Structure 1
């Protein structure tokens, strides 16, 4: 099983959107028995809560399920559980690296999947309100990520 986790600050906007989109692509591609997708936040403010209303509305509009998704906090144990740790911005990456075990972990930045984009971080729609922009980035980046995983693991 290949394990992917997306990480943002509170785990209610960006990372659950990426989790839902990636899960959808994994299921559509027939890889659900080979790729597991999760998300987490570096903060603990929203633990146990569902995705943000803006994320839910956006996912509903494109018919992507977020069923049973609740926020959780990234923990040091995640370093041994996940093959791909993908942070939505530099601050999240720094916070993950600062955890015990983080200095050795391979941590990817989401926007590195989209090198032709001007943005180098996924904007936080909790502050910007622009869930559409985040969805466009997440959708494109998840395509790149899935194709990369398929190629790297010969799926």
Structure 2
């Protein structure tokens, strides 16, 4: 089983959006028995909360389930539990480094690293920008490319 953890700041906008989209893609590709997906935040302000209303509205519109997704904070033991930790921006990468020192046991990358010629290097936080549609476009593109990468690397 390959396990993926999506990470943003508060785990209510971008990373739960990525978790839901990626989970949906994995299900559609009949890979649910090979890939597990979760999300977390580098901060704990929203722990236990459902995704932000803007994220829920978008996922509902796209008919993508977010059932069971509740905000949680990333913990040091996540490096033992996951094969991939995929951050939404450079600040998340820096914050992850404060939780666990970098090593080769887990692939830690930004989601946009998987998208060739991406218009952004980081996924903008719609909590601050209010632009959930743009975030959805970027996250969707990143999730598709991440899944393609994983299918090739793990021979799914």
TM-score by length of 2: 0.96
Secondary structure of 1:27 counterpart? helix
Tell me the distance in 2 between the aligned counterparts of 1:25 and 1:16: 14
Tell me the distance in 1 between the aligned counterparts of 2:107 and 2:96: 10
- Residue 45 of structure 2 is matched in structure 1 by 45
Query: Is the 8 Å Cα contact of residues 6 and 40 (structure 2) preserved in structure 1?
Result: yes
Question: How far 1:31 moved relative to its partner?
Answer: 0.2
Tell me the distance in 2 between the aligned counterparts of 1:24 and 1:107: 22
Tell me the distance in 1 between the aligned counterparts of 2:18 and 2:59: 10
Question: How far 1:115 moved relative to its partner?
Answer: 3.0
The list of structure 1 runs, each at least 4 consecutive aligned residues, that deviate by more than 2 angstroms after superposition, is: none
- Residue 64 of structure 1 is matched in structure 2 by 64
Number of residue-to-residue matches in the alignment: 154
Q: Aligned Cα RMSD in Å?
A: 0.9
Mark the runs of 5 or more structure 1 residues left unpaired by the alignment: none
Tell me the distance in 2 between the aligned counterparts of 1:90 and 1:71: 20
- Residue 9 of structure 2 is matched in structure 1 by 9
Tell me the distance in 2 between the aligned counterparts of 1:88 and 1:11: 10
- Residue 129 of structure 1 is matched in structure 2 by 130
TM-score by length of 1: 0.97
Tell me the distance in 2 between the aligned counterparts of 1:39 and 1:79: 13
Question: How far 1:75 moved relative to its partner?
Answer: 0.5
Query: Is the 8 Å Cα contact of residues 111 and 146 (structure 2) preserved in structure 1?
Result: no
Question: How far 1:122 moved relative to its partner?
Answer: 0.2
- Residue 25 of structure 2 is matched in structure 1 by 25
Question: How far 1:98 moved relative to its partner?
Answer: 1.4
Task: Report matched runs for 1:44-123 at 5 Å.
Answer: 44-100=44-100, 102-104=101-103, 105-123=106-124
